[in-house]
Chain A
Amino acid sequence: MGRTIGEVVLDLNNVSLSFGGVKALSDISFDVREHEVRAIIGPNGAGKSSMLNVINGVYRPQEGEIVLRGEHFSRMSPYKAAQSGIARTFQHIALFKGMSVLDNIMTGRTLKMKSNLVQQAFRLGPAWREELEHRAKVEEIIDFLEIQHIRKTPVGRLPYGLQKRVDLGRALAMEPQILLLDEPMAGMNVEEKQDMSRFILDVNDQLGTTIVLIEHDMGVVMDISDRVVVLDYGKKIGDGTPDEVRSNEEVISAYLGASH
């Protein structure tokens, strides 16, 4: 692979999160290095999605801090996270279902579009040129994900597997440095999983994007990740390379011992 794992870009220190007395995460710390594929695994309800939601500011942790390229945040906001180059996909697809595939992916370019409302209303030169430039960029993503044939289809009408792909496309359109993927392969058949794994590895490899990934399919996780964090009941019980994690006693009893 043509990538080299770099410095720590994202560091979570002692993060705790609770909802009205119920602890979702307690005292979690781990780091993510540049260009790596970092997986978060754990049984249902272990707090994996909450972890992603903390990283990109959808949830505000009661304790702990997030360090992003040396900058300390005790609370992140989704907008701030987006500005800092963090993109994500959702476990339960959160596409804009009334819009076409093309428009959905175009929304990922929002932060990069600079023309104002009046220019857009009158389709003045800057707005028009910008629209075309970004359209070209989005078409590259559409080609990459092999979804040219559905670009004008409203996403609500697409099958699940394609929707997942569009969700990834929308995140890629942000040209993120860090990409958070929340169960990108959930509910897919083997072939679709292979396609998705290929897309993820290509993104990681060709664009150098750092990837934080939650996934249930252990086979996939162990194949594509560089390092793995294991959560159970909101606590971290393991952290290391796939091989290290696989041989960790606590992990085996909590998770791998189960039917996964």
Chain B
Amino acid sequence: MLYRENGQFKSSYAADQQIFPIVQDRWAILGIVAFAFAAVPLLANEYLLSAILVPFLILALAALGVNLLVGYCGQITLGAGAFMAVGAYAAYNFFIRVDGMPLLAALLLGGLTAAAVGIVFGVPSLRVRGLYLAVATLAAQFLADWAFLRIKWFTNDSPSGSVSVANLHVLGWKIDSPVDRYLLCLAVLVVFALLAKNMVRSAIGRQWMAIRDMDVAAEVIGIRPMFAKLSAFAVSSFIVGVAGALWGFIHLSSWEPAAFSVDRSFQLLFMVIIGGMGSIMGSFFGAAFIVVLPIFLNQFLPWLGGLVGLAVSTATVSHAEFMIFGVLIVFFLIVEPHGLARLWSIGKEKLRLWPFPH
């Protein structure tokens, strides 16, 4: 009975075009954000913050970027890991090579570099799609793997390709404790989520979706496929690049190219499929699911094995993870291509009618 929109009449188009037109949604989102900023740092312990929440926030950001490209613009990518790597290493180079480079500026420059590289590897999308495009993005992945391992300049001549950063400050705030790291990632994610939401409900977002749904018709009504596709590649790579830089700087603080391997690319794609293609919220669901599932299985499977007197090794758990991901991908593609986000909105729909479903 609480979740109702009747009685909320819009008297102007401006009111109808608010980010969350339903009052309850607006309060719920504000409540969650407030809780995440104010309460979580007090309640969560160090393990929860550094091992679960920070990776979740960063991967959610990356998944958000991938979703703009795959879910909104319909261009498949298997190379998101490469753009994370470009973001991370570019930010690293700006950070250590330019004296007094502020952290935030380095992160954004990392994102911009990733955007530029993203545009280059987006060019094949003007000629090919589907599988062929997947191959082009894989080329980006393997070139990046190679470049950051072999071209020593990128890693400041470190022999193993491993680099590290220390002494991070944002506007005088020293990023040191897990709480600091968490808050920084949260702030970045909230800002980018807002910007992304704005884009997908503006002209640019409509252009992306038009290209996704019916590219010939889109061109006929005056959408330039080149602009729409390349802008999606650029924006997506920018966000993924910033996420990569955060992953390196904030989560790992010292990293090597393997942190952004093709497995990462697949993982991000899975987050988008499971969470929901074409949904900002879905990116968060997908990231949460994929971050939490291994941790859950690690606890649950040995416990389950214990019940029937079987010792479950960590290897078995990781294989089980593979199986479950595989099954879920196929399941969602067949049953609910819009993923967890769609299940969520079906739930809301039910709630709206509750307790009188007719």
User: Do these two chains really belong together in a complex?
Assistant: yes
* A binding-site residues for B, Cβ under 8 Å: 56, 58, 78-79, 81-83, 87-88, 90, 94-99, 103, 106-111, 113, 115, 117, 120-123, 127, 130-132, 135-136, 139, 170-171, 174
Also in contact, A107 and B218, with CB within 8 A (given A96-B213, A121-B195, A135-B13): yes
CB distance B203 to A132 under 8 Å?
no
Also in contact, A94 and B222, with CB within 8 A (given A121-B195, A121-B198, A135-B13): no
Main secondary structure of the interface of A (DSSP, over half): helix
In the assembled complex, which residues on chain A have CB atoms less than 8 Å from the CB atom of B204?
117, 120
Residue of B whose beta carbon sits closest to that of A127:
B202
In the assembled complex, which residues on chain B have CB atoms less than 8 Å from the CB atom of A120?
198-199, 202-204
- The smallest C-beta distance from A4 to any residue of chain B, in angstroms, reads 28
Is the CB of B223 closer than 8 A to any CB of chain A? yes
CB distance B214 to A94 under 8 Å?
yes
Contact of A99 among B14, B198, B206, B231 (CB under 8 A): B206
CB distance B221 to A110 under 8 Å?
yes
Instruction: Compute how far the CA of A127 lies from the CA of B198 in the bound complex, rounded to whole angstroms.
Output: 10
Instruction: Compute how far the CA of A98 lies from the CA of B200 in the bound complex, rounded to whole angstroms.
Output: 13
Is the CB of B216 closer than 8 A to any CB of chain A? yes
10 tightest A-B CB contacts, nearest first: A82-B222, A120-B202, A96-B213, A94-B217, A111-B222, A78-B219, A121-B195, A135-B13, A113-B203, A78-B220
What are 28 A-B pairs with beta-carbon distances under 8 A?
Answer: A56-B220, A58-B220, A78-B216, A78-B220, A79-B224, A81-B220, A87-B220, A87-B221, A96-B212, A96-B214, A98-B209, A98-B278, A99-B209, A106-B206, A110-B203, A110-B206, A111-B221, A117-B231, A120-B203, A121-B196, A121-B198, A121-B199, A122-B195, A123-B202, A127-B202, A131-B17, A139-B13, A171-B221
- The smallest C-beta distance from B229 to any residue of chain A, in angstroms, reads 13
Instruction: Compute how far the CA of A56 lies from the CA of B216 in the bound complex, rounded to whole angstroms.
Output: 11
In the assembled complex, which residues on chain A have CB atoms less than 8 Å from the CB atom of B198?
120-123
Contact of A96 among B14, B209, B231 (CB under 8 A): B209
- The smallest C-beta distance from B198 to any residue of chain A, in angstroms, reads 5
Residue in B202, B207, B218, B220 whose Cβ sees the most chain A Cβ within 10 Å: B220
- How many chain B residues have a CB neighbour from A under 8 Å? 29
- The smallest C-beta distance from A113 to any residue of chain B, in angstroms, reads 5
In the assembled complex, which residues on chain A have CB atoms less than 8 Å from the CB atom of B220?
56, 58, 78, 81-82, 87-88
In the assembled complex, which residues on chain A have CB atoms less than 8 Å from the CB atom of B207?
107, 110
Contact of B14 among A82, A88, A95, A132 (CB under 8 A): A132
In the assembled complex, which residues on chain A have CB atoms less than 8 Å from the CB atom of B59?
none
Instruction: Compute how far the CA of A21 lies from the CA of B217 in the bound complex, rounded to whole angstroms.
Output: 26
In the assembled complex, which residues on chain A have CB atoms less than 8 Å from the CB atom of B240?
none
Contact string against A for B residues 218-238, beta-carbon threshold 8 Å, 1 for contact and 0 otherwise: 111111100000010001000
Is the CB of B210 closer than 8 A to any CB of chain A? yes
CB distance B223 to A107 under 8 Å?
yes
- The smallest C-beta distance from A112 to any residue of chain B, in angstroms, reads 9
